[in-house]
Amino acid sequence: MENTQQRVGVIGGVRIPFCRNNTAYADVGNFGMSVKVLGALVERFGLHGVELGEVAMGAVIKHASDWNLAREALLSSGLAPTTPGITTARACGTSLDNAIVIANKIATGQIEAGIAGGSDTTSDVPIVYSQRLRKRLLAVNRAKTPLDKLRTAVRGFSLSELKPSFPGVAEPRTGMSMGEHCEKMAREWHIGREVQDRLALDSHRKLATAYEGGFFEDLVVPFRGVKRDGFLRPDTSMDKLAGLKPAFDKTSGLGTLTAGNSTGLSDGAAAVLLANEAWAAKRGLKIQAYLRDAEVAAVDFVHGEGLLMAPTIAVPRLLKRNGLSLQDFDFYEIHEAFAAQVLCTLRAWESPDYCKNRLGLDAPLGAIDPAKLNVNGSSLAAGHPFAATGARIVATLAKLLEQKGSGRGLISICTAGGMGVVAILERP
């Protein structure tokens, strides 16, 4: 296979406003939200009837019927039905991963253009039968005669078997929720409540300012009567945030993570169009930025490492490969799963001990300029439909770089399962 290593351009992206679960999108589901964002992308860039090389979409919380989500959604989007689709999942990194999948295919010349995205709903969650009832129903299906089926159905039956099972929010290996894990991280890195609330407040203020300034006019498509993210609270304050009770550690008196400095359960979808330069030029489309490189990493959270610290590992690998320092960026888009997670990450990069003993570096990566961090707000204010966040960030950062005219941006996303996905966007 010839490796042409073509540059990968980000043409642009769209998303629907992110909503709190059980509100405006409660009955839409992943398929409906995916169709909406793909259709909006088709409209924006004139892709009706166009065959793309690949559409990579994903969802974290999905029904078994959503196994072919990308393909089914694109068939309703206006794209040519000859466009292939692949459905993926890596928790909160899903749609950034999809951008990497599409970018790698473009870079190696396998395809010319593709779409990366994701959707998630915590309103329309899969509810499954108990294990005992599933086994009973399978046994009934295997039984040969009607009498055998009846006997199998009623033998030893208990009403408790009818109790449904909902998706779990805990890490299977530890039994702890992501918030409980992040509380441990906050204590390890000595991240207090006030700095977490301050970061959350800044996120709301910056997102509100970006909306008022029109930044999202071409990025956010109204849906179901919603025009702005349902989590956005322009009028919040440090006093209001300080009044919230701990959301995860409710008993020790030491809990610092609250509903105000943690992302809430969200519904939403986002997608971004990527292409090589020749394809974009042929269609008269401008490239906002280029996806230069990416990296993934994982940590051993089961045996003591912080669940959400994998980006601290991935970023220095990415920097080394590209001959860059942590300070060589104009924008930093660090996903705000929790304010504490962002602050732990920044503190780790400044720590001589962590950088030497865990990262194997001769010196700390150092501090970043706070004025360059999540300049238009991030997940704490916008919401976090797991698989949609990466595409939201890619589209936001690409537009920021286009507006600036040149520059470089770093994306960092932590995920469940102790993983991290990071990437570099640039505009020469």
Catalytic residue numbers, as ranges: 92, 384, 414
Q: What is the largest CA-CA distance in the chain?
A: 75
Residue ranges of alpha helices (H) inside 189-331 are 193-212, 238-242, 277-282, 310-322
Cα distances (Å, whole numbers) of residue 184 to 178, 301, 336, 416:
10, 11, 17, 15
Taking the alpha carbons of 340, 346, 347, 353 in that order, is the dihedral positive or negative?
positive
377: phi > 0 → left, psi -120 to 50 → alpha, else beta; which?
left
The number of beta carbons lying within 10 Å of the beta carbon of residue 127 is 10
What φ, ψ does residue 127 adopt, rounded to 5°? -110, 120
Residue 228's nearest CA partner among 118, 377, 76, 371 is: 377
Cα separation, 286 vs 391, whole angstroms = 18
Cα separation, 38 vs 270, whole angstroms = 8
CA 255 vs. chain centroid, Å, equals: 25
Give the start-end residues of each E strand in 318-400: 331-334
Cα separation, 266 vs 22, whole angstroms = 9
Residue 353 burial (C-beta neighbours within 10 Å; 0-12, 13-18, 19+) = exposed
Cα separation, 113 vs 279, whole angstroms = 7
